Amino acid sequence: MVVTGFYPDNMSRLNPKGPIIFHTQSLESRESSLSACSFHAASINPFLKSLNRNLKPIYSPAPRPPLLIRRRRRSMAFTKDQLLARLQELKVEFLSCDHPSVMTVEEQAKYVGHLGGALSKNLFLKDKKHRLYIISALANTKVDLKILSQRLGLGKGGLRMAPEEALPEILHVALGSVTPFALINESARSVSLLLDKGFKSQRYCLFHPLTNEVTIALTPSDFDKFLLSIGHEPAYVDLEDCPVVGKDNPPDLAYLIPAEALNLPGGADKVPPTSAPAQTNATLEQKTKQPTQKPKEPSKEQKQKSGNDKPQINVDAVADSTNVEKFVEKVLEKVSNVFISELSKQSNAEDGNIKDHMLEGVKQRVSSDLLSMTMTLKNSVYTQGFHAGIESTLYPLANKKIVERK
C-alpha cells in the first residue's frame, strides 16, 4: 500500500489533539481500497516527514464522507483494544503488562515473570486436510507433535506448522503473537483449540492479547468464560500423555478435529467437510453452545471449488476436441492407415519403405491445407455460436417490444 493521496477527514473541525483518519489508496487494485489509519494530530507532521515527501498537510473538509470507515464490519480483525473491551464487558478481570515485542517465551518471561502466572507457548498447526489447530501449553510441557497427531487420528506425520500466511489471514495476528484469544475472530471459527490441562491448576494464565507487545494474566475460570462467550468449548488435554493408538485404542483426541477445513492461502481446498464429531464427554447443554450457525461462505466456496473440479475434466476434453492440429493429425492418420491397407491389397510385394515415404510426402503436402481449412471451420462455427448467443439474449427483449407496441 502506498499513501498516494490523502485528505484528512473533518480535520478542520476536530480537536487538533484528537485522532484524524487518513485514507490510503492502493496503486495496484483497480478498485481503490480504502483503509483508515488513525493518528493523533500532533504526530502528523513527523509522519509526513517520515514519508520523505515535501507534503504540507492541507486542512480542508473532506468532499465525501467515507461510509466504509463509519460502518463497523464484523469481518474486520479484532484489535487488542477491542479484545480487552470485550473482556471488560464479560466482567473478566485481568492484569495487563506492556513490553517490547517478544518472539519467545524466554523473552516474555523477562518482562512478565513477576506476575506469578503460567506462561503459555502457543503453536498454530495444520493437518493434511487443511484443518487448523492452536495448541496452548504451559511453557514447561513437552509437546510431541507426532504423538498428538496420532491421538487426533491424523496418522504419524499429520500435524505441521501452519503456513505463515495463515497467521494474518485466519488469526489476524502477527508472527510471534499466536494466542487462543485469536479465536475471537470470525475467520478463526473453525480452528480447534487444545489447552494444556496444566492451566487449570494455575493461579493465572498468561497470554498475548492479539499482539506480542502486551501480555495479560487472567484466571483459568475467567479464561474459560471468555472461550465460552465466543462459542468455543474449552478443551483441556493432557498434552504429555502418550497412549498407544491402535486397533483397540482409537485416537482419544479425535473429537477435537475441526468440522471444517479452511481455505488456506495458497492451498486448494478439495476435501468436503467431515461430519461433526461425536462428543463423548460433552453434555447436551454444552453441545447447544457450540457454534451452530455454520457460516455460509466457506461451504459456498467449497461447493464452488468442488464444482470446479468436475468441469476441469470436461474442459480438457473440450480443449482436445477443439484443437485443430490434433484433429488434422487424427484425420491424416486414419486416411494413411486405410490407404496403406488398400495399397497392400493391391500388391503384396510392395516395399514398406516406399509406402511410408509416399505417405509422408502426401501428408506434408496436404497438412497445411487441411490445417487451414479446419481452422476456418472452427472459426466459422464459433462465430455462428457467438451470434446465436447474442441473438438469444436479445430475443426476449425484442419480443417484449413487439408485445408492448400492440
Residues that bind other proteins (CB under 8 A): 27-28, 30, 315-316, 318-319, 322, 324-325, 368-369, 371-373, 375-376, 378-380, 382-384, 386-387
Partners of 331 in the β-ladder: none
Pick 82 or 367: Cβ nearer other proteins: 367
Pick 292 or 393: Cβ nearer other proteins: 393
Q: Are 261 and 272 spatial neighbours (Cβ–Cβ below 8 Å)?
A: no
- Alpha-carbon distance 81 to 19, whole Å? 16
- Alpha-carbon distance 268 to 126, whole Å? 14
- Alpha-carbon distance 24 to 37, whole Å? 8
Partners of 24 in the β-ladder: 35
The CB-of-290 to other proteins minimum distance in angstroms stands at: 36
The CB-of-196 to other proteins minimum distance in angstroms stands at: 42
Pick 43 or 384: Cβ nearer other proteins: 384
Pick 45 or 380: Cβ nearer other proteins: 380
The CB-of-322 to other proteins minimum distance in angstroms stands at: 6
Pick 28 or 351: Cβ nearer other proteins: 28
- How far the first Cα of the chain sits from its last, in Å, is 58
The CB-of-384 to other proteins minimum distance in angstroms stands at: 8
C-alpha atoms less than 13 angstroms from C-alpha of 177 in its C-beta half-sphere: 24
- Alpha-carbon distance 111 to 105, whole Å? 10
Pick 35 or 379: Cβ nearer other proteins: 379
- Alpha-carbon distance 256 to 136, whole Å? 14
Pick 43 or 376: Cβ nearer other proteins: 376
The CB-of-388 to other proteins minimum distance in angstroms stands at: 10
Give the burial class of 195: count Cβ atoms within 10 A of its Cβ; 0-12 exposed, 13-18 middle, 19 or more buried: buried
The CB-of-141 to other proteins minimum distance in angstroms stands at: 43
Pick 32 or 286: Cβ nearer other proteins: 32
The CB-of-172 to other proteins minimum distance in angstroms stands at: 24
The CB-of-321 to other proteins minimum distance in angstroms stands at: 11
Q: Which residues of 90-102 are buried (b: 16+ CB within 10 A; e: fewer)?
A: eebebeeeeeeeb
Pick 60 or 384: Cβ nearer other proteins: 384
CB contact set of 244 (below 8 Å; sequence gap of 6+)? none
Closest CA to 286 of 339, 346, 235, 356: 235
Pick 2 or 161: Cβ nearer other proteins: 2
The CB-of-345 to other proteins minimum distance in angstroms stands at: 31
The CB-of-368 to other proteins minimum distance in angstroms stands at: 7
C-alpha atoms less than 13 angstroms from C-alpha of 356 in its C-beta half-sphere: 3
The CB-of-324 to other proteins minimum distance in angstroms stands at: 7
Pick 221 or 380: Cβ nearer other proteins: 380
